[in-house]
Every structure is written in structure tokens, then in C-alpha cells.
């Protein structure tokens, strides 16, 4: 009984995510400082806010100073702080996504920003007391939890304010996070030399807090009328529909729309202009095969970028014999490519689609991880930089595109919840990938006699990272991202299917332990599609989009 009660509470928490702002607060959000609020105000605030949060990508600059301050030498312990931070980020984002949707981005950003900065101050105390555990708790746990809430706050708001340009809105909301490494990587070392490591964390945390609170003041959800379907929907026997086709990456899929019969009794002015109506609950979305495939694909896209980011400065110093100052410059420039990838791939996905964009990103990562061992053996520094920066660009693109991909498949109303849960992949990639990398790295140094500068300690890790990226690429092929793929029912014996060069490739069971591949011709697919509609259209008119399927029964009403 108690278990059922708890499970019911969990389902209610994740199931109902409607914004609960009061009438007065919604009215207040229509203005800012006495002037009408415009949606473009959020864009620069979101970029600055995320840039501060993205300073976590510059943590590798702190690895050596923190180890030296606490242990007196480089013990390779400080990198664990980054993994803890990313782990807590995903946990907070997954647990607090529904809470954000109910309470709004301003409250979430204020609380998250305060926690993020408080963690810096706790870390400063840990360094002063020479306690790595306190550093882990401060910057790892406290800042990580705050970072999770901070990360999803502007994303949710911008996706709602820019529904017609989801890829651009998503990229805009997260590209600042990528540039944080570029901006913040060059700040710590001069500060450390001037005032010491302890005060550096105090000063940075204080400055960050002031900026974050100013940006949080600007965040808000759009008024209710901006999130409703625009225009009347006429239901009158058979339907006469005019559809506004958006860009290829947007919600509607022209080729997959069912045929519509014009009704001469329906006057031309009573045409439906359809804009996707999303009413999937969070529980319904989480139970779909698409979400599981998206999760695995996202995990594969992240793990190599996270692991390499946390070790980038060490690679420059130990393998390529560069100075700490040069290493910090490489980390800073790498943050710029993270920024470019987030904005470039998210905008590209509005043109070529979300799934093709991810195929490009994962394919790029597979190729780079396959050639990195050769680059490390030959110690070709410029080839290393080109490979790492390209890899980071693809890594950042995954973050920039995923909110729009979620919006396409599951709608706007549960973006924070679905995105937050998806960010647990970030935690798994950061913690699991980081720990596995460290175990292999330490084993090769302590038990096999390799030095920290030996290419083998990194190349062994590149092999399993390449396998992860390749697995994500294959899984993505089976994610049904178009309307036709999601609607077309399975045939007898079908185990799974995917599209190869635009055609359906089925994997079918023909008997006990007997299987075959069936590569459908276009006319065979069209025949199945026509047969499906011949049965379905007798009962329903299907309005379909790449986000969900809306079923409207025929009846003579005007909504």
C-alpha cells in the first residue's frame, strides 16, 4: 500500500507540469521596468547566464593548482571534482524539471544560481583547510546541483518563446554554456598568481552570483495565449485543410500528411490552418521507444566530449610538452568550438532535420576517435588540435539540438521534465565515463609502467570511446523521427526497422531462430501506407506532425 502511494506521488509529480503562476504574476511578466516585455530580451540574458554556468568546462585549468594546494604535488585527484559536478547536474535537472515547469524559470534560475556560487565558496574553504572532500562537496555536489537547475531554466523559457524556430531557440539557449569555457579559462591563472587559489574561488563565486541574479530577473514564461493553437479549428464532416508548411526541420511533415478530401459544402474561408497541438503527458513520452533511443544516442554523443574536456589541459602538458599557459589557451579556444557547435548544428537541424544532424555529429566523432591513437603516437600537435576542436564542435552540437528534437517528438509542455531526465545521460557520461577513463589510466601507469605522457594511457581509452560513439550512431538509425515511420504499423514477424537511403529496411523473424532483411521498394511502402489510411480514415482524420499524432473525430462543431 505504501509503495503504491509513493509510486502514485511520483507519477503525479512527473505527470502534471502546467505552470502555476498566479494571475498577478502572469500580468507582471508582461512588462519589465515599466515597459512591455519583448521575447528578444531573454536571448542575451540566457547567453550570459549560460556562459557563467559553462565555466565548469574550464575546470581542467584548476586540476594542477588544486592538487598542488592540497597534496603538494600532482596526484590526479582534482579531475574527480568535475565528474561529481556533472553527475549532480544531471540528477538535479531530472528531478527538478517538472518543478521548474510549475514554478517558472526565474525562481529556478535564482535558486540554482545561488547554489552554484555557494559551491565555489565551500570549495574555497576546502582548499584553505586542505580538504579535498570539502572541494568535492562544494564544487562537485552543491555547485553541480545548482548547475542542473540553472542549465534547464533558460532552455525551457526560450523554447516556449520561439516555437517557430525551435532549433535556433535551443541553440541560442545553450550556446552560451559552450562559450563559458572560452571566457572563463583564462581568468583563473592570473587571479591565482595575484591573490592565491583560495581567494580566487571566493572572488569568482561572488562575481558570478551578481551576474546570474541579474539575468534570472529577466527570465519568464510567455503569457498563456502564446502557447495555444492559433486560429479556429473547423470540424465539419470531411475536412478541407490548408497547411502552413514550415522549414524542413520544423514540426510538420508534408510528405507524411494523409490525403484530405475537399468538401464542397465547406466554404473556402473555413479552412483549417493546423499548428501542432501537443498533449502527450510526461509519462506517455517516457514510455516511447523514441525516447529510449534518443537517450542512448545522447549518451553516446556526450561521453567522449566530457572525458576529453576534463583531461584536455593534462594532454597538452603531459603528451605534447606544452606549458600550463598554453594549455589554458587551448582549453579556452576549445570552449569557442563548443559554442560554435551548439549554434551551428542546432540551426542546421532546422534545415536538414534533427536526426540527420545527429548522424553527422556521431559519424564525425567515430572518425576522429578512430584516428586519435595515430595522432598521439606520432605526437602531431596541430593534428591533435584540429581533431579535438572538431570533436568538441560535434559534442556541443548535441546539446544545442536535443531540446528541439524533444520538442519535435513530444511537444513543448514537458520540455523541462523530458530534457531534465535526458540530462541524466550527461551524469552517466561524466561520472561513469570519467571513472572508467581514470581506472584505465591509473592501471596503465601503476601496473604497466607507462608514464603520464605515454600515448598508450590515452589510446586505450580512445578505443572504448569510439565504440560508444559507433553504438549511438547505430541506435539513432532506428529512432523513428518522421510521421510516416511512427504511424505505419508493424507487419507480421517484424522485429525492428530503419530507413536506409530513404527506404525502409525491415528485420523480420521467419521462423524459430530464422531471420531475414527485407528492403522495401518505394511502391511497396506506398502500398502499405495507402492500405493503412484506407482503414484508419474511415474513423478518424489524422492530423500528424513530427511531434505527435492528433486524432479528431468527425463531427459538426466549431472549436
CB 338 within 8 A of CB 392: yes
Q: How far apart are CA 314 and CA 328, in angstroms?
A: 10
Which residues lie across from 234 on neighbouring strands? 558
Which residues lie across from 272 on neighbouring strands? 241
End-to-end CA distance of the chain: 43
Q: How far apart are CA 259 and CA 365, in angstroms?
A: 41
pLDDT of residue 203: 96
pLDDT of residue 468: 95
pLDDT of residue 313: 85
pLDDT of residue 23: 82
Cα–Cα separations (whole angstroms), residue 351 to 171, 176, 364: 14, 22, 19
pLDDT of residue 2: 59
CB 455 within 8 A of CB 282: no
Q: Which helix (H) or strand (E) holds 399?
A: helix 381-410
31-32 and 35-36 strand pairing: antiparallel
pLDDT of residue 530: 81
Quote the distance between the C-alpha of residue 16 and its chain's center: 22
Largest CA distance in the chain: 85
Quote the distance between the C-alpha of residue 157 and its chain's center: 15
Compute how many other C-beta atoms are within 10 angstroms of the C-beta atom of residue 204.
21
pLDDT of residue 412: 66
CB 149 within 8 A of CB 100: yes
Q: How far apart are CA 62 and CA 66, in angstroms?
A: 6
Q: How far apart are CA 357 and CA 449, in angstroms?
A: 42
Which residues lie across from 557 on neighbouring strands? 235
CB 508 within 8 A of CB 518: yes
pLDDT of residue 273: 36
Q: How far apart are CA 527 and CA 511, in angstroms?
A: 25
Q: How far apart are CA 426 and CA 90, in angstroms?
A: 6
pLDDT of residue 126: 96
Per-residue pLDDT in tens (0 to 9) along the chain, 559 residues? 555 677 677 767 776 667 777 788 888 888 888 888 888 888 889 989 999 998 988 888 898 899 999 998 878 789 889 889 988 998 898 888 888 888 889 999 999 999 999 999 999 999 999 999 999 999 999 999 999 999 888 887 887 887 766 666 667 777 778 777 777 777 888 999 999 999 999 999 999 999 999 999 999 988 876 654 443 333 333 322 333 333 333 333 333 334 444 344 444 443 333 333 445 666 777 778 888 999 999 999 999 888 887 788 889 998 999 888 898 888 888 888 888 888 888 888 888 888 889 999 999 999 999 999 999 999 999 999 999 999 999 998 998 888 888 877 877 666 767 877 888 888 888 888 888 998 998 899 888 888 888 889 999 999 999 999 999 999 998 888 776 777 777 888 888 887 777 788 888 888 888 888 888 888 888 888 788 777 655 444 444 433 334 443 333 233 3
Q: Output phi, psi for 37, to 5 deg.
A: -80, 135
CB 552 within 8 A of CB 235: yes
Nearest to 422 by CA among 243, 271, 276, 293: 293
pLDDT of residue 7: 67
Q: How far apart are CA 61 and CA 75, in angstroms?
A: 15
pTM here? 0.71
| 478 contact partners, CB below 8 Å, separation of at least 6 | 293, 496, 497, 498
Which three-class secondary structure state does DSSP give residue 500? strand
**90: which DSSP letter?**
H
Q: How far apart are CA 480 and CA 487, in angstroms?
A: 10
Strand ranges for 162-296 from DSSP E? 234-235, 241-242, 272-273
Give the angle subtended at the CA of 323 by the CAs of 322 and 326, to the nearest 5°.
Answer: 85
pLDDT of residue 226: 60
Q: Which helix (H) or strand (E) holds 418?
A: helix 415-422
Q: Which helix (H) or strand (E) holds 517?
A: strand 514-519
Domain segments of the chain as ranges: 36-223+281-477, 234-276+483-558
Q: Output phi, psi for 216, to 5 deg.
A: -60, -35
Which residues lie across from 241 on neighbouring strands? 272
Q: How far apart are CA 482 and CA 546, in angstroms?
A: 6
Q: How far apart are CA 522 and CA 505, in angstroms?
A: 11
Q: How far apart are CA 354 and CA 369, in angstroms?
A: 23
272-273 and 241-242 strand pairing: parallel
User: By CB neighbour count within 10 A (0-12 exposed, 13-18 middle, 19+ buried), where does 179 fall?
Assistant: buried
| 198 contact partners, CB below 8 Å, separation of at least 6 | 69, 124, 127, 128
CB 150 within 8 A of CB 116: yes
Q: Domain 36-223+281-477 sits in which CATH superfamily?
A: MFS general substrate transporter like domains (1.20.1250.20)
Amino acid at each position: 500500500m505504501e509503495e503504491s502511494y509513493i509510486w502514485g506521488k511520483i507519477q503525479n509529480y512527473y505527470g502534471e507540469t502546467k505552470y502555476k503562476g498566479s494571475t498577478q504574476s502572469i500580468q507582471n511578466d508582461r512588462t519589465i521596468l515599466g515597459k512591455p516585455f519583448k521575447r528578444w530580451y531573454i536571448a542575451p540574458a540566457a547567453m550570459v547566464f549560460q556562459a557563467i554556468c559553462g565555466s565548469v568546462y574550464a575546470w581542467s585549468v584548476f586540476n594542477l593548482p588544486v592538487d598542488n594546494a592540497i597534496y603538494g604535488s600532482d596526484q590526479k585527484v582534482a579531475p574527480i571534482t568535475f565528474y561529481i559536478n556533472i553527475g549532480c547536474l544531471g540528477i538535479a535537472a531530472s528531478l527538478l524539471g517538472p518543478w521548474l515547469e510549475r514554478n517558472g524559470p526565474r525562481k529556478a534560475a535564482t535558486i540554482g544560481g545561488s547554489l552554484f556560487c555557494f559551491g565555489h565558496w565551500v570549495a574555497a574553504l576546502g582548499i584553505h583547510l586542505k580538504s579535498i572532500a570539502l572541494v568535492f562537496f562544494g564544487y562537485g555536489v552543491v555547485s553541480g546541483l545548482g548547475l542542473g537547475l540553472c542549465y534547464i531554466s533558460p532552455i525551457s523559457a526560450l523554447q516556449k518563446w520561439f516555437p517557430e524556430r525551435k532549433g535556433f531557440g535551443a541553440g541560442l539557449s545553450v550556446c552560451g554554456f559552450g562559450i563559458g569555457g572560452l571566457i572563463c579559462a583564462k581568468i583563473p591563472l592570473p587571479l591565482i598568481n595575484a591573490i592565491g587559489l583560495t581567494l580566487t574561488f571566493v572572488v569568482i563565486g561572488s562575481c558570478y552570483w551578481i551576474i546570474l541574479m541579474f539575468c534570472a530577473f529577466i527570465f519568464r514564461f510567455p503569457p498563456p495565449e502564446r502557447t495555444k493553437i492559433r486560429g479556429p479549428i473547423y470540424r465539419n464532416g470531411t475536412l478541407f485543410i490548408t497547411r502552413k508548411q514550415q522549414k524542413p526541420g520544423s514540426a510538420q511533415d508534408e510528405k507524411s500528411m494523409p490525403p484530405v478530401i475537399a468538401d464542397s459544402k465547406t466554404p473556402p474561408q473555413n479552412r483549417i490552418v493546423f499548428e501542432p497541438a501537443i498533449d502527450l503527458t510526461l509519462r506517455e513520452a517516457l514510455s516511447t521507444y523514441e525516447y529510449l533511443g534518443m537517450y542512448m544516442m545522447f549518451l553516446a554523443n556526450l561521453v567522449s566530449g566530457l572525458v576529453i574536456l576534463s583531461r584536455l589541459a593534462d594532454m597538452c602538458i603531459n603528451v605534447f610538452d606544452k606549458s600550463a599557459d598554453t594549455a589554458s589557451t587551448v582549453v579556452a579556444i576549445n570552449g569557442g568550438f563548443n559554442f560554435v557547435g551548439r549554434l551551428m548544428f542546432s540551426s542546421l537541424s532546422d534545415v536538414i532535420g534533427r536526426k540527420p544532424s545527429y548522424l553527422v555529429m556521431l559519424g564525425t566523432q567515430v572518425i576522429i576517435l578512430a584516428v586519435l591513437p595515430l595522432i598521439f603516437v606520432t605526437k602531431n600537435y596541430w593534428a591533435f588540435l584540429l581533431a579535438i576542436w572538431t570533436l568538441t564542435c560535434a559534442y556541443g552540437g548535441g546539446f544545442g539540438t536535443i531540446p528541439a528534437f524533444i520538442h519535435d517528438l513530444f511537444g513543448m509542455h514537458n520540455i523541462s521534465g523530458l530534457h531534465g531526465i535526458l540530462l541524466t545521460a550527461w551524469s552517466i557520461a561524466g561520472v561513469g565515463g570519467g571513472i572508467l577513463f581514470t581506472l584505465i589510466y591509473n592501471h596503465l601507469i601503476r601496473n604497466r609502467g607507462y608514464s603520464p605522457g605515454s600515448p598508450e594511457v590515452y589510446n586505450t581509452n580512445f578505443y572504448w570511446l569510439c565504440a560508444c560513439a559507433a553504438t549511438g550512431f547505430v541506435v539513432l538509425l532506428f529512432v523513428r523521427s518522421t510521421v510516416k515511420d511512427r504511424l505505419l504499423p508493424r507487419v507480421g514477424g517484424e522485429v525492428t526497422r530503419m530507413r536506409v537511403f530513404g527506404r525502409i529496411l525491415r528485420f523480420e523473424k521467419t521462423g524459430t531462430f530464422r531471420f531475414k532483411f527485407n528492403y522495401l521498394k518505394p511502391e511497396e511502402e506506398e502500398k502499405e501506407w495507402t492500405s493503412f489510411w484506407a482503414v484508419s480514415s474511415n474513423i478518424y482524420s489524422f492530423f500528424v506532425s513530427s511531434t505527435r499524432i492528433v486524432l479528431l473525430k468527425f463531427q459538426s462543431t466549431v472549436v
